[in-house]
């Protein structure tokens, strides 16, 4: 089946048509900058531009950087606060004329990794983390997604939320070298390890592409590896979930 997969990010929205059997892209990826402030209506209009670009009439799966319960946006850590409470399934479907289903972006990306990445079909307790502007998380057991885990918002011992302590955006903002940032990230992983005892951790998002630069600082016992699908995971996963 072919589904249009879309990934909504802080600055841009990307999409392409995905073959949901193989996870392959059927077309080139198309990216549109999101005008700011990115209110729900503006995001909907931007998604509409992508739908029109592909002249798409079928199903659409969309990853979104918030808690999403049955299509309703519940949080807005790094997006415009006016998004909270909006039924994104309804609004985006109405504006685009397509049937759109919206999911948390990390849940979508993790789902794609488990289906088509190098950890495919892993059946144990797997934790997927995306390290970008924020920190996203997705938890899987026996291949099933437990949605909206939001571990990027747990408080570290310095009273900061994890994503304000060790996201990729913080690494850049505070100009941390990989060693210093890696130690911070390791503290976060240690915390998650004692909370969850996962059997595998997979890292996606910007910083995961530089895994070899900070992996010497990672001392947890849980096997950990960078994601395989990288930038494309969010789009593929959203299409699969839809
Ligand atoms: C949001 C999550 C999202 C993550 C990555 C966090 O700030 O709370 O819902 O998955 O950023 O975009």
Which atom, in ligand 1's list, is nearest to the CA of 77?
A: 7
How do the domains of the chain map onto residue ranges? 2-107+234-241, 121-226
Q: Mind listing the pLDDT tens digit for each residue in 7-65?
A: 999 778 999 999 999 999 999 999 999 888 999 999 999 999 999 999 999 999 999 99
Domain 121-226: give its CATH superfamily. ATPase, nucleotide binding domain (3.30.420.40)
| Topology at the third CATH level for domain 2-107+234-241 | Nucleotidyltransferase; domain 5 (3.30.420)
Among protein residues, the one whose CA lies closest to atom 6 of ligand 1: 134
**Ligand 1 neighbourhood includes 77 CB (under 6 angstroms):** yes
* Average confidence (pLDDT) over 208-236: 94
The H or E element containing residue 144 is strand 144-146
pLDDT (tens digit, 9 = 90+) per residue, 189-206? 999 999 999 999 999 998
Q: Give the per-residue pLDDT at 34.
A: 85
Q: What is the pLDDT at residue 157?
A: 82
Q: How big is the chain, counted in residues?
A: 242
Q: How far apart are CA 200 and CA 229, in angstroms?
A: 17
Q: What is the pLDDT of residues 167-181, one digit of tens each?
A: 999 999 999 999 999
For atom 9 of ligand 1, the residue with the nearest CA is 66
């Amino acid at each position: 089946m072919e589904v249009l997969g879309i990934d909504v990010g802080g600055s841009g929205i990307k999409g392409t048509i995905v073959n949901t059997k193989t996870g392959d892209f059927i077309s080139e990826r198309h990216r549109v900058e999101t005008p700011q402030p990115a209110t729900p209506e503006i995001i909907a209009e931007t998604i509409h531009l992508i739908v029109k670009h592909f002249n798409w009439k079928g199903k659409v799966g969309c990853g979104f950087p918030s808690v999403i319960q049955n299509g309703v946006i519940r949080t807005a850590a790094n997006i415009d606060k006016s998004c909270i409470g909006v039924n994104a399934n309804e609004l985006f479907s109405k504006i685009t004329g397509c049937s759109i289903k919206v999911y948390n972006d990390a849940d979508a990306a993790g789902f794609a990794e488990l289906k088509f990445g190098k950890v495919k079909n892993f059946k144990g307790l797997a934790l997927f983390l995306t390290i970008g502007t924020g920190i996203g998380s997705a938890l899987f057991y026996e291949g099933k997604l437990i949605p909206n885990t939001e571990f990027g918002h747990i408080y570290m011992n310095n009273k900061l939320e994890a994503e304000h302590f060790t996201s990729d955006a913080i690494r850049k903002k505070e100009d941390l070298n990989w060693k210093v940032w890696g130690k911070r990230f390791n503290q976060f992983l240690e915390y998650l390890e004692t909370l969850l005892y996962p059997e595998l951790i997979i890292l996606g998002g910007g910083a995961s592409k530089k895994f070899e630069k900070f992996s010497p600082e990672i001392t947890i016992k849980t096997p950990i590896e960078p994601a395989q699908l990288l930038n494309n995971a969010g789009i593929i996963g959203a299409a699969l979930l839809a």
